[in-house]
Chain A
Amino acid sequence: MTAATSAATELRAEQDRGRKAAQNREKWAQSRTYISAVVILFWCLAPAYWMVVTAFRDVGYTYDTSILPTHITLDNFRTAFDTSFGNHFGQALLNSLFIGSVVTVVSLVIGVFAAYALARLNFKFKYLVLGFILGASMFPGVALITPLFQLFTNIGWMGTYQALIIPNISFVLPLTVYTMTSFFREMPWELEESARVDGCTQGQAFRKVIMPLAAPAIFTTAILAFISSWNEFLIASQLSSDATQPVTVAIASFAGAQPNQIPYTAIMAAGTIVTIPLVILVLVFQRKIVAGLTAGAVK
């Protein structure tokens, strides 16, 4: 063997070792990613899992800490809807649905025009308007509640639906406007021009080209608007009555048979009912919702 070939062999071995080390590093990095992913999954899902497990657990075993479902029963769901302890969960579900729908529709109908103007038109004070709308969404609810409390007391609106719907619009409308603004800005508006060139009228271009493109954006915004109205608690906790209270208030004040014992299993059942539709909605439209969330950048 000459010196040259042995040097070459050594070099190849060296390279091999280098490649192996790199592969190992890669593998190690990959497994670290997986470990992290599992930790994230556990952190996000474990509490939610515990809610569902408790919801199906017999009330006598409320504090059973076995991880798997045990003593499975549907009684808690019946208890959740039971009105004999002064709970109005069924009514509250309908109330939340009603309030959320009205708030969403009103905000979308009003907001879509503003979003169009902000996304597509050039005008003075554009940034001022955008700043005003963003500022409005960051507004603390307590700053509204005091004057509204007095106003609604004076005009006899306490505990009415309109007393809950109007303040909700104050934070859902800004969210609607700037989520839709960001969506509209990303839309390929050139297509409208092209459709016109190809012989569409303005109306046709809008109906056949723009509407189908804008529909997903509007739909996603509607989901986000509905969720934020559905989750509202502060204003409803002060301005609603037993007859008009939304689910968040109903769950927060859920009473059991014994006054000093919190009926956790029934509350978890109610919580599961309230949460499952949202979670399904969110998982089905995951991509769109994440886009809407990060565009609007709001909780």
Chain B
Amino acid sequence: MATEVGPTSVKAPASGGAPIHHAPKGVGEDNRIATQGRWAAWLLAPTILALSVVIVYPIITAIVMSFQKDAGLDPATGLFVEGGPAGFSNYYNWIFQQCPAPSGGTVDCPPGTLGAQFWSATGTTFFFTIVTVALETVLGFWMAVIMARAFRGRSLVRAAVLVPWAIPTAVTAKLWLFIFAFEGIGNKLFNTTVLWTGSEWPARWAVIIADVWKTTPFMALLILAGLQMIPAEVYEAAKVDGASAWQRFRMITLPLVKPALMVAILFRTLDALRMFDLPYILTGGANNTTTLSILVINQIRQGFNAAAALSTITFIIIFLVAFIFVRFLGANVVEQQTGAGKGKK
């Protein structure tokens, strides 16, 4: 069991894959799969239907909306304008940060308006994603290595890491807001007098620290699950052959834990790219902590269709990042997913 690591274990049929409905005697494999296929279709139908209603339908609506003009007051004439087909203008306006001009046509959005924030929000989103995921990976790996060792109190540590994970993000945000208050424990502990949410870099670091605190446990547990799939004999053999601790880590631990690690990083990356709760509550998006998700939410009440275009752009960005991960970095989620259940124990 334990030797089945990563994608190699995958193509084999799932361990529970024995057919439950026996085909009549003399009927071939094809027929049995067809029977199971019919059963599977019935069993999967409710889920597929539900997901189509709650996800596929809204997405299609959003895409349709994104090609419509927002009805509203024309800034030039002060008259109400009807919506109508917009072509790609909603997308164009976001990407080139254009706003409708009083004289018709478009001009650069004045600083401070939502339209002028697309690239800074994109930059902030990627900055948060890269920094938090990098920190979480390193810290999570370290925690996982410690938790994989045998020592008294190990179960206490494993229980403790679940605490930050279990606290709702909204509560986490308020808690760190309090810790980072000017007279709060954060400044006291580090003997600093930083106005954490008052300027760009402290505000960004406040968000990053809170996010790392909240999500590192998840990373650590995923990596720990990966570590536990590595059989101890491999390390024993390497030790006998005279491999140093660093060599064992580089030549055994890293390559063998890589499939699990890549999936963990992929999940965290996609999650960080849609980050909303923490900056929204902690800093309100002020001081350059507005992520793409926050920008969409701020836009909704100023025009559905422009918001729909921006949410579609966000969706495309996340999709592209996922695609790059799966295609070029070998994070095979589906295979890992199907293999994970068997290797782990």
Contact = CB atoms under 8 A, between A and B. Distances in A.
B317 to A, nearest CB: 9
A187 interface: yes
Interface in B96-135: none
A279 B159 CA distance: 10
Interface centre among A190, A227, A233 (most CB of B within 10 A): A233
Nearest to B312: A143
B258 interface: no
Interface centre among B44, B174, B175 (most CB of A within 10 A): B44
A298 B341 contact: no
Contacts of B47: 110-111, 113-114, 133, 173, 177
Contacts of B41: 123
A48 interface: yes
B159 A283 contact: yes
Contacts of B276: 141-142, 233-234
Contacts of A231: 168-170
B174 A271 contact: yes
A147 B225 contact: no
B288 interface: no
B16 A298 contact: no
A178 B47 CA distance: 12
B170 to A, nearest CB: 4
Contacts of B270: 138
A185 interface: yes
Interface string A268-297: 100100110011011100100111011101
B36 interface: yes
A123 to B, nearest CB: 4
Contacts of B341: 181-183, 185-186, 295
A47 interface: yes
B170 A249 contact: yes
B169 A248 contact: yes
A50 B179 contact: yes
Contacts of B177: 262
B334 A145 contact: no
Nearest to A283: B159
Contacts of A145: 296-297, 300, 311
B292 A47 contact: no
A28 interface: no
A65 B178 contact: no
Interface in B150-190: 151, 153-171, 173-179, 181, 183-185, 188-189
Contacts of A184: 16
Interface in A147-172: 147-151, 166-167, 169-170
A205 B280 CA distance: 52
A243 interface: no
B62 A140 contact: no
Contact of B340 (A140, A234, A294): A294
Given A140-B273, A145-B300, A271-B175, A33 B221 contact: no
Interface stretch (A2-10, A14-22, A36-44, A81-89): A36-44
Contacts of A132: 48, 51
Given A117-B44, A167-B54, A142 B293 contact: yes
Contacts of B174: 251-252, 254, 264, 267-268, 271
Nearest to A44: B160
A117 B17 CA distance: 10
A124 B35 CA distance: 11
Nearest to B319: A135
Interface in A102-130: 110-111, 113-114, 116-124, 126-127, 129-130
Nearest to A53: B185
B245 to A, nearest CB: 9
A174 B51 contact: yes
B314 interface: yes
Given A143-B312, A271-B175, A120 B166 contact: no
Interface in B214-248: 215, 217-218, 221-222, 224-225
Contact of B166 (A117, A119, A150, A279): A279
A170 B54 contact: yes
A54 B171 CA distance: 13
Contact of B39 (A110, A119, A121, A169): A121
A34 B276 CA distance: 36
Interface in A181-229: 181-187, 189-190, 192-193, 227
A291 to B, nearest CB: 8
Contact of A37 (B146, B171, B183, B274): B146
A139 to B, nearest CB: 6
A264 B267 contact: no
Contact of A151 (B61, B155, B188, B281): B61
Given A63-B183, A140-B318, A275 B167 contact: yes
9 contacts: A63-B181, A130-B337, A133-B51, A139-B55, A147-B59, A169-B50, A248-B169, A252-B173, A298-B267
Interface of B: 13-20, 33, 36-37, 39-44, 46-48, 50-51, 53-55, 58-59, 61-62, 65, 142-143, 146-147, 149, 151, 153-171, 173-179, 181, 183-185, 188-189, 213, 215, 217-218, 221-222, 224-225, 263-264, 267, 270-271, 273-274, 276-277, 280-281, 292-293, 296-297, 300, 304, 307-308, 311-312, 314-315, 318, 322, 333-334, 336-338, 340-342, 344
Given A113-B43, A123-B39, A136-B51, 10 more contacts: A36-B142, A37-B151, A50-B175, A119-B14, A124-B33, A141-B276, A143-B58, A143-B315, A146-B296, A170-B54
